[in-house]
A and B are shown apart, each in its own frame.
Chain A
């Protein structure tokens, strides 16, 4: 990896950021990962995640506490993935990349999300079929293995993913994919510029903004302020029907999707307790002392 500067990363609460950005409670995992492979022939691998739609009001934990109820809950493309698609399509419009390929892993329904990516401007799609039990346990490690295998097979030059899924907030797939391929990575990108054969990435970090230059091929993960995703217009949706989506199985790529993680239990966050209003700073200090906080 080529880095012109190094910055120490501070811990931050990505969960909160996701909430602030989208004004919705954190949604529970139900991912279908779709990295965007971009290539000078460009393959933009879209992490097209189907996450629960923001307008859903309540997420309920399943009675057996193994997860959340997903039946009948609407899923749509992960917002960070939309930003990734948009960036890829922008690069293609600037004629810096030749082809944008949208990839998604999951059951039949992810084809809808791939179609949305095609309607936004991707050239073709790859649907990696993972369904049933395998899909429920599909995590960043398995997905990044799939992406790495696909990147090699398709000879991608650039992989763009959303930085994290808003349902599980793992924030791992991009980094793992880069590690598996031994490629440089530009994560939390808020600006991406192609300079000759290097990629200049401005990254959002807790201390501010960090600018790095990395060699291609590389992995980039998209952060919120990278761009504003376009709507898929109705004429483009109709044109997207003619674009190809190829089906692939993880086994064809030599990837084992069995999970090494076991979910022990899933609980709702504790009910928010009401607060107490105090009159003076002195009262506040007293109360905090009473509660053993200071």
Chain B
């Protein structure tokens, strides 16, 4: 399975490498200290939008759990969303590096809003890497014409990390596939215009995962698609997460990505491009924790000094700073590698695992620095702690990342 995954990937990466990528990234060398002018400008717009529009609105969205559509619409208008969509479909064809810069800034504002936006990228990625021209024009084109959402429908109540264990069935009947099953924890589940769906097409339990699954594009208004209720989560509460039931949903064969049996590779291939932005999101949250904690530490006094002047606190801040800087470098490396057309699984997993862990550590430390105030909902840091947890769970749990990293590492070692 691992070997097949490798081979196929090389072909698909070649198909993706476009001129646009070369224009947009630091091409020959990874320069972590100096971004290009365009990257700086993009980052500036995202930063301004996040700090001026997302930050003030985030607490009320967190309380109410209301979907932040006005913010998403604004981000869409500014061009901060759907950056990966190729230029011939009306998008900007940005590389993953540029997308990560933007994601980090948006996550600084509110990771709930950022996740809602990022779910678009995750849903679109299978179409971008594996869609044919007609599919791309149809489903990616409409995303650039109006602010629509899409979703990545793979996880089920009984299968999260074990993607090969999904049970949703797709049976070919004439020119259609009939799908039955249950998906769970689908971000944008109730707001999406279309879904990328992974379903099992080969019922034979002995069939290998690389041939048993098929990727489909499903219009959300197809009869039989039933989004469940909005789930009430610990954090990122404004993001819309739902279970979705598929009951005799008919999908035309034109909506199959690549062909029957190609689904697993597509679903996994999407992750190499979406893990760096998720790591960037976690880094944005950690940066926010660091800035809030620093501001507070320079205002609050105990024992006659600003608490920042006590080594216990300044050391906490120093360690938070170390973690943020390293997480940033990690996601930038992972993003750059894939933009160069190379397989970045190793770096993407490292970045996501590390950033998820440090986001939680930094958020907890920020609450600690705020003391009693940190525990209180009038101060911004308790939300960061609640929001951070999911970064160790979605897009591949912390444990799965370690599995991938160890496999990659041992694989390299044995060569």
Q: Does B92 contact A (CB under 8 A)?
A: yes
Q: Does A115 contact B (CB under 8 A)?
A: yes
Query: How many residues on chain A are close to B (CB under 8 Å)?
Result: 17
Q: Determine chain A's interface SS by DSSP, over half rule.
A: helix
- Is A112 touching B40 in the complex (CB atoms < 8 A)? yes
In angstroms, Cα B298 to Cα A222, docked, is: 36
Q: Does A116 contact B (CB under 8 A)?
A: yes
Given A55-B51, A116-B44, A238-B92, check contact A233 B78 (CB 8 Å). Answer: yes
Cβ contacts under 8 Å, A57 to chain B: 295, 298
The 8 A CB mask of B321-337 against A (1 = contact, 0 = none) is: 00000000000000000
- Is B78 touching A241 in the complex (CB atoms < 8 A)? no
Query: How many residues on chain B are close to A (CB under 8 Å)?
Result: 19
Cβ contacts under 8 Å, B80 to chain A: 234
- Is B41 touching A116 in the complex (CB atoms < 8 A)? yes
- Is A238 touching B38 in the complex (CB atoms < 8 A)? yes
Q: Does A231 contact B (CB under 8 A)?
A: yes
Q: How many A-B residue pairs have CB under 8 A?
A: 42
Cβ contacts under 8 Å, A115 to chain B: 37, 41
**Which listed residue (A112, A119, A234) contacts B92, Cβ 8 A?**
A234
Q: How far is the CB of B102 from chain A (nearest CB, A)?
A: 8
Q: Does A61 contact B (CB under 8 A)?
A: no
Which residue from chain A places its CB closest to the CB of B77 in the assembled complex? Answer: A233
Within 8 A of A (CB), among B22-76: 37-38, 40-42, 44-45, 48-49, 51
- Is B41 touching A231 in the complex (CB atoms < 8 A)? no
- Is B38 touching A237 in the complex (CB atoms < 8 A)? yes
Q: How far is the CB of A289 from chain B (nearest CB, A)?
A: 34
- Is B79 touching A235 in the complex (CB atoms < 8 A)? yes
Cβ contacts under 8 Å, B78 to chain A: 231, 233-234
- Is B77 touching A237 in the complex (CB atoms < 8 A)? no
The 8 A CB mask of B83-127 against A (1 = contact, 0 = none) is: 100000000100000000010000000000000000000000000
Q: List 22 A-B contacts (CB under 8 A).
A: A55-B51, A57-B298, A76-B44, A111-B37, A115-B37, A116-B44, A119-B41, A231-B45, A231-B48, A231-B49, A232-B41, A232-B45, A233-B45, A233-B79, A234-B42, A234-B83, A234-B92, A236-B79, A237-B38, A237-B45, A238-B38, A241-B38
Q: Shortest 9 CB-CB distances between A and B: which pairs?
A: A234-B79, A233-B79, A233-B78, A237-B41, A235-B79, A231-B78, A231-B45, A234-B42, A232-B45
